[in-house]
Amino acid sequence: MSVRRLASEQPSSFAFTPENLAWAQKQLLKFPEGKQASAVIPILWRVQEQEGWVSEPSIRWVGEFLDMPFIRVLEIATFYTMFLLAPVGKKAHIQVCGTTPCMIRGAGRLLNVCRERIHHDPFHISANGDLSWEEVECLGACVNAPMVQIVPDTYEDLTVESFNKLIDDIEAGVPLKPGPQIARHYSAPETGFRVLTTESLYDGSMIGQGAGLAAARDAIAARAAAEAEAAKAAAEAAKAAADPAPAEAPAAPAVKAQAEADKEKVPNIAPQNVPASDPAVRPDAGKKE
Ligand code: FES
């Protein structure tokens, strides 16, 4: 694990070159008044590009330049492993990820290569002055573990053989290829794509056609209709279960017989809305005695 401390030997002062100072002043204009501290990381990065590492005087300088307390800049410089806190190898400082996924995939063997080829201990520069190394925590490329970082790039899917070749190329000044050191495309599956393999997804033929959108809309509408139908059926079933239609009680035979008998006894009462003089009511109405 990496211990992030300032180097024991420090220069007496720091200053940007005129070009870098002009660049830094321009960065401040990108932020609203009072928010200039947001430029701290790019300015620390420019310090490192100029000096090769970030010294204690440079951290103080950045704090004064951005009107930030020294401790705030120190926290940032010591937190991010991309900032190198001590002089490093002239050609490369190799940061080997030693967190679990990389360790499971062989980071321990990469660390042994560093011990054998660069120096037994981290933060020590090789005999020829070209290289140095350290172990760091996860650098966010676990999917391609094991990996190393040589700022500003990462080198992934390493084996002992490919890592040795990487070091050979650094020593020889051969341009490096960042990213996976196998045939993998970025973080795509090592064995090739198994989904989204339709050629038309990538040849531009679907751009502007809206075919995908139309298909998605149709699928959404079909699903909404099916859900509405299912909800309606469920509501009807629930209603039927909660409120069954009352069954007509069958009349007992004795009650039915009594009702028939009562009908016989009902007198033939004249309708109330018919006048008594109506012949239908008084057949003798209108006859003279
Ligand atoms: S564990 Fe090594 S990059 Fe994440």
How far lies 48's CA from each of 44, 94, 212, in Å?
6, 15, 48
Report the DSSP beta bridge partners of residue 132.
Answer: 93
What is the reported pLDDT for 242?
87
* 274: Cβ contacts below 8 Å, ≥ 6 apart: 280, 281
Report the DSSP beta bridge partners of residue 179.
Answer: 155
Query: What is the model's pTM?
Result: 0.66
Structure tokens at 113: 């290569």
Å from CA of 144 to ligand 1 middle = 8
Å from CA of 106 to ligand 1 middle = 11
H or E element, residue 155: strand 153-156
- Ligand 1 neighbourhood includes 142 CB (under 6 angstroms): yes
Where do the domains of the chain lie?
A: 18-79, 92-180
- Ligand 1 neighbourhood includes 141 CB (under 6 angstroms): yes
Q: How far apart are CA 255 and CA 44, in angstroms?
A: 105
Pocket probe for ligand 1: among 1, 97, 153, 158, the residue whose CB has the most ligand atoms within 8 Å is: 97
**Tens digits of pLDDT across the chain (289 residues):** 567 899 999 999 999 999 999 999 999 999 999 999 999 999 999 999 999 999 999 999 999 999 999 999 999 999 999 999 999 999 999 999 999 999 999 999 999 999 999 999 999 999 999 999 999 999 999 999 999 999 899 999 999 999 999 999 999 999 999 999 999 989 988 888 788 888 888 888 877 777 777 788 888 999 999 999 999 999 999 998 888 666 566 666 776 777 777 766 655 555 555 555 555 545 554 454 4
Phi/psi of residue 125, each to 5°? -85, 145
Q: 92-180, superfamily in CATH? A: Glutaredoxin (3.40.30.10)
* 5: Cβ contacts below 8 Å, ≥ 6 apart: 78, 85
What is the reported pLDDT for 174?
97
Domains 18-79 and 92-180 share a fold: no
* Contact (Cβ atoms closer than 8 angstroms) between residue 181 and residue 162: yes
- Ligand 1 neighbourhood includes 110 CB (under 6 angstroms): no
Pairing outcome for strands 179-180 and 153-156: parallel
H or E element, residue 150: strand 148-150
Ligand 1: which atom is nearest the Cα of residue 100?
A: 1
Å from CA of 178 to ligand 1 middle = 16
Query: What is the amino acid identity at position 157?
Result: D
* Contact (Cβ atoms closer than 8 angstroms) between residue 148 and residue 186: no
User: Which residue reads 């751009």 in tokens?
Assistant: 207
Q: Exposure pattern of 129-142 as b/e (b: 16+ CB <10 Å)?
A: eebbbbbbeebebb
CATH number of 18-79: 1.10.10.1590
